[in-house]
Chain A
Amino acid sequence: DTGVSQDPRHKITKRGQNVTFRCDPISEHNRLYWYRQTLGQGPEFLTYFQNEAQLEKSRLLSDRFSAERPKGSFSTLEIQRTEQGDSAMYLCASSLVGLSSPLHFGNGTRLTVT
């Protein structure tokens, strides 16, 4: 168990640019989640996958955000035309399917939009 891995750890971009983040979950976990966390707040749900299927998306997730998990393993989160309000920590988590299966988080990607 090597844990959840996220890349990059930090990303600074100019407003209007596109960015893409990658998440590698724990290998035996079939669920993968993306959360956003701003300073002083708890993680806010964005979307989750079970295997390669995207099962739920938050209303917070505007159409500038898209996530994929093409082979049911790693996932990418892309933000198009970034805005300053997108500055946050983007957390990925994975879990097994089932009740009482906890989320295992990566260390996040900190995005700063200038």
Chain B
Amino acid sequence: GENVEQHPSTLSVQEGDSAVIKCTYSDSASNYFPWYKQELGKGPQLIIDIRSNVGEKKDQRIAVTLNKTAKHFSLHITETQPEDSAVYFCAASDTGNQFYFGTGTSLTVIP
């Protein structure tokens, strides 16, 4: 089955700086890559996603890039704010039936 690795496990940045979280996947059949943000006591919430026919997608301060050849994808958050502090998960899916999640990155934005 698919194996998704995520780095780093923890990340601290100063408010206003950028944060980058990276994921790799093993199954070349994976073609859909969502990112989720999980706040304490809540379920994961979708923040952005990318399909394999697209190399980059941006939504305001959040962007995701995908390198199919290298089988890695990354989340970029610019101009970080304290409310961006949370745990972020990447995921990969091939058929849309099964989603495989990374182990999460705990992001802390220091005011």
Using known A-B contacts A103-B46, A107-B43, determine if residue A45 contacts B31 with beta carbons closer than 8 Å. no
Cβ contacts under 8 Å, B99 to chain A: 33, 45, 103
> Size range of the interface on B?
20 to 34
Cβ-Cβ contact count across A and B, 8 Å cutoff? 61
Q: How many angstroms between the C-alpha atoms of A43 and B92 in the bound complex?
A: 12
Interface residue ranges of A43-67 to B (CB < 8 Å):
43-45, 48, 55-56
Pairwise interchain contact B45-A105, C-beta atoms closer than 8 A: yes
Chain A interface size, under 10 / 10 to 19 / 20 to 34 / 35 or more: 20 to 34
Q: Does A25 contact B (CB under 8 A)?
A: no
| CB of B27, distance to nearest CB on chain A (Å) | 14
Query: In this complex, what residue of B is CB-closest to A95?
Result: B96
**Chain A residues near B7 (CB-CB < 8 A):** none
Closest to B106 in A: A40
Between-chain CB contacts (< 8 Å), 6 pairs? A40-B104, A42-B89, A42-B102, A42-B104, A100-B96, A105-B43
Additional A-B contact list (20), CB under 8 Å, known A56-B97, A100-B51, A102-B49: A40-B103, A41-B103, A42-B91, A42-B101, A42-B102, A42-B104, A43-B89, A43-B101, A91-B43, A91-B44, A95-B96, A99-B32, A99-B51, A100-B96, A103-B46, A103-B99, A104-B46, A105-B36, A106-B43, A108-B43
Please provide the 9 A-B residue pairs with the shortest distance between their CB atoms, ordered closest to farther: A42-B101, A105-B43, A99-B96, A107-B43, A100-B32, A102-B46, A105-B44, A102-B34, A43-B101
